[in-house]
Amino acid sequence: MNNLLLTPIEYLKGVGPNRGELLRKELGIHKYEDLINFYPNRYIDRTRYYKINELQNNNADVQIIGRVIRIKTVEQKRGKRLVAVFADETGEMELLWFQGHKWIRESLKLNTVYVIFGKCTAFNNQYSMAHPEMELLEEHKNSLKTAMQPVYPSTETLTKRGISNRVINKLIQQLFQETHQLFKETLPPYLLEELKLIPKNLALFNIHFPQTPELLAKAQYRLKFEELFFIQLQLIAKNMIQKNKIKGHSFEIVGAHFNGFYKNHLPFELTNAQKRVIKEIRNDMGSNAQMNRLLQGDVGSGKTIVALMSMLIALDNGFQSCLMAPTEILANQHFMGLSELANELNINIKLLTGSTKTAARKIIHEELENGTLHILIGTHALLEDKVKFQNLGLAVIDEQHRFGVEQRSKLWQKNTIPPHILVMTATPIPRTLAMSLYGDLDISVIDELPPGRKPIQTVHRFDSNRLKVWKFIKDEIALGRQIYIVYPLINESETMDYKDLMDGYESISRDFPLPQYSISIVHGQMKPAEKDAEMQRFSQGKTNIMIATTVIEVGVNVPNASVMIIESAERFGLSQLHQLRGRVGRGAEQSYCILMTGHKLSSDSKTRMETMTATNDGFEIAEVDLKLRGPGDLMGKQQSGILNLQIADIVRDRDILMLARNYAMTILKKDPALKLPEHLNTRETYIQLTKKKNIWNYIS
């Protein structure tokens, strides 16, 4: 049976080499089992037949019984089209083809009863249907037919090449016949019983040929559960294996560095959330398994000090640490921030980025290898082969989503015993998504902001109100505050964006003239050194206004800046808007965020503006973001397609996800190797999946 399912798809009756090639290329269907697991994305009612005089101009798919009474080719400016007049006892309509005329002319039978299916459109009260699906009434009667006819995902090429929905449907029917529906159960019997899940066979049959609406719902539920269950099983198992087998350095000592800092140099009292998280990290690093922990905390929640204190524990145990950031500006900020915090600790902290000079670089390489360098901060430059630590004990990675999984493990390879890994992210990831993406990581959350912060006031203003906004800025500057004005950036190299920014800069320079006002500007076409110099001027209070593209998105910390103006705010995603807003509200003063847009907004843009003005809570915003964009897009372009789910949807099916996760956890706790007889099927599926679809295939 299993072997049969591995048969190449072209051997299925009705496929052959040509269609096989198309199915592979267009839909990724290589084998029988791929076709079985190719699920419809919606269902339509095909028990109902419409009369031509009942048609409505509503874009719904309908099915009509009638005959083709005439056929003609019409010449048009934009090319030929084939028109057939289709009639039933109530009226006439037109069927249109823009392609494939020869084949259709040859195969269409005049005055024979057909069932046609497709979308109708009306023009001058005349209905027409383009590229209808057609079936002879005789055939139609014989085919499996239900109230919920499946509609499969398709592509333009497939439609053009005649692989219609009906063809796919037929192929799946054929497949069910050839395989006699002997699909193996994958879930343990007691689980089916407990959760009232229908068997695999029944589920697969009903997903393709729903017998009743209830059975369809049950089939969907069962298959969603199964999909999420096996992902969770892989993630959790991976986590357990890491805990048990991947030995880590055991940092048993909490010594002079940590305690000295804690007792004498803490610049402020830690929040409870910070304390809790530090404890979690201490526990992890104190056991002798490798730590893999994700630290989530909204912008400004105080992750930096947590990172430092974790690195001090490593130091107390005689190990080096590194901190890797996604951009030079951010690495630089971390370097300055950590150096300041650790000012009186007498430890050696250095910065390594792409622009580190050769001489300095050489010293760093040496000090790393002889162990006199304690903490190294930097960008991707840390991953270069030349960078060799004497004993790397902890790697902190900031802004995880910009580094791929591969890079994470590249840090590993630097030692025989891998360092502990602490991944920090300011992008609040909804818990359900975090679980599915980072199920192999343990998660710590700083869910509390340092005390005394005034919530940032956010407003949405139209461009037509700019004068009032400028007046407001002038008042704030008069009070001694500083202002960010951010322009969108779709692509750093796009001259359009650059022009927007420069136009803005010019007009702002006119409205805020020297010598009363001074303005900084930072954008992607500047050299890192220039950017840094300009950032410095602003952070030292030498300029009042910082005009920038989104390069300031992450990490920049200027507590005296109290206003964030975001131009063309509709062009930013929610999480980006939230990140930008997090650049203000870092000092004691009331801060503001002003979202500037034109009057014309899409409904999604409106939702984004409303969400931003309604809440400062990053997690709430992330939830809305997830709903608007869907999980694949949450992390931005680089990691789109982050979760290749076949049927489940992380947002809509989060209850099923939780359930699946809980069960996967319980089962693995009881039977880590899935060796119990009742888990044999599950184990087999699990092994196949890990071989074929390693979990990293789900994650970018």
Least spacing, CB of residue 405 vs ligand ADP, in Å: 23
Least spacing, CB of residue 362 vs ligand ADP, in Å: 31
Pick from 459, 463, 457, 458: nearest CA to 597: 463
Question: Which residue, 118 or 302, is less far from ligand ADP as judged by CB?
Answer: 302
Pairing of strands 349-352, 482-486: unpaired
Alpha-helical runs (H) found in 380-450: 405-412, 431-437
Least spacing, CB of residue 452 vs ligand ADP, in Å: 7
Structure tokens at 523: 């954008």
Nearest residue by C-beta to ligand ADP? 302
Pairing of strands 320-324, 81-88: unpaired
Question: In the block, which residue shows the tokens 């992210």?
Answer: 425
Q: CA–CA separation, 1 vs 523, rounded Å?
A: 61
Q: CA–CA separation, 96 vs 73, rounded Å?
A: 10
Question: Which residue, 324 or 628, is less far from ligand ADP as judged by CB?
Answer: 324
Q: How many CB atoms lie within 10 A of CB 406?
A: 9
Least spacing, CB of residue 264 vs ligand ADP, in Å: 16
Pick from 263, 414, 252, 191: nearest CA to 324: 414
Question: Which residue, 213 or 541, is less far from ligand ADP as judged by CB?
Answer: 541
Least spacing, CB of residue 293 vs ligand ADP, in Å: 15
Question: Which residue, 339 or 557, is less far from ligand ADP as judged by CB?
Answer: 557
Strand (E) or helix (H) holding 445: strand 442-446
Strand (E) or helix (H) holding 477: helix 466-478
Question: Which residue, 297 or 631, is less far from ligand ADP as judged by CB?
Answer: 297
User: What distance, in Å, lies between the first and last C-alpha atoms of the chain?
Assistant: 32
Could you list the residues that contact ligand ADP (CB under 6 A)?
268, 270-271, 274, 297, 299-305, 426, 450, 557, 586
Question: Which residue, 303 or 679, is less far from ligand ADP as judged by CB?
Answer: 303
Q: CA–CA separation, 422 vs 399, rounded Å?
A: 11
Pairing of strands 482-486, 420-425: unpaired
The residues, any chain, with a CB within 8 Å of residue 62's CB and separated by 6 or more, are 50, 55, 117, 118, 119, 120
∠ Cα 397 403 405 (to 5°): 100
Q: CA–CA separation, 473 vs 467, rounded Å?
A: 10
- As a three-state string, the secondary structure of 328-369 is HHHHHHHHHHHHHHCCCCCCCEEEECCCCCHHHHHHHHHHHH
Residue 124 C-alpha from the chain's centroid: 45
Question: Which residue, 60 or 266, is less far from ligand ADP as judged by CB?
Answer: 266
Question: Which residue, 342 or 657, is less far from ligand ADP as judged by CB?
Answer: 342
Q: CA–CA separation, 669 vs 240, rounded Å?
A: 9
Question: Which residue, 558 or 642, is less far from ligand ADP as judged by CB?
Answer: 558
Question: Which residue, 208 or 481, is less far from ligand ADP as judged by CB?
Answer: 481
Least spacing, CB of residue 336 vs ligand ADP, in Å: 11
Tell me how long the chain is: 700
Phi then psi for residue 356, to 5 deg, are -65, 130
**Helices (H), strands (E): how many in the chain?**
26, 21
State the DSSP code for 53.
G
Least spacing, CB of residue 558 vs ligand ADP, in Å: 10
Least spacing, CB of residue 299 vs ligand ADP, in Å: 4
Asked, as a colleague might, if the bond just before 515 is cis with ω within 30 of 0, I would say yes
Pick from 328, 377, 373, 335: nearest CA to 355: 328
Least spacing, CB of residue 305 vs ligand ADP, in Å: 5
Least spacing, CB of residue 460 vs ligand ADP, in Å: 24
Q: CA–CA separation, 534 vs 522, rounded Å?
A: 7
Question: Which residue, 339 or 681, is less far from ligand ADP as judged by CB?
Answer: 339
Least spacing, CB of residue 394 vs ligand ADP, in Å: 17
Question: Which residue, 306 or 664, is less far from ligand ADP as judged by CB?
Answer: 306
Q: CA–CA separation, 295 vs 306, rounded Å?
A: 9
Task: For helices 618-629 and 574-581, give the axis angle rounded to 10 degrees.
Answer: 160
Question: Which residue, 193 or 340, is less far from ligand ADP as judged by CB?
Answer: 340
Least spacing, CB of residue 453 vs ligand ADP, in Å: 8
Question: Which residue, 13 or 279, is less far from ligand ADP as judged by CB?
Answer: 279
Question: In the block, which residue shows the tokens 């031509």?
Answer: 52
Question: Which residue, 427 or 458, is less far from ligand ADP as judged by CB?
Answer: 427
Question: Which residue, 278 or 612, is less far from ligand ADP as judged by CB?
Answer: 278
Least spacing, CB of residue 196 vs ligand ADP, in Å: 45
Pairing of strands 519-522, 392-398: unpaired
Phi then psi for residue 378, to 5 deg, are 180, -170
Least spacing, CB of residue 536 vs ligand ADP, in Å: 17
Least spacing, CB of residue 399 vs ligand ADP, in Å: 10
Residue 671 C-alpha from the chain's centroid: 32
Least spacing, CB of residue 306 vs ligand ADP, in Å: 8
Question: Which residue, 450 or 630, is less far from ligand ADP as judged by CB?
Answer: 450
Least spacing, CB of residue 42 vs ligand ADP, in Å: 43
Structure tokens at 83: 């028109």
The residues, any chain, with a CB within 8 Å of residue 575's CB and separated by 6 or more, are 427, 428, 621, 622, 625, 634
SS3 call for 114: strand
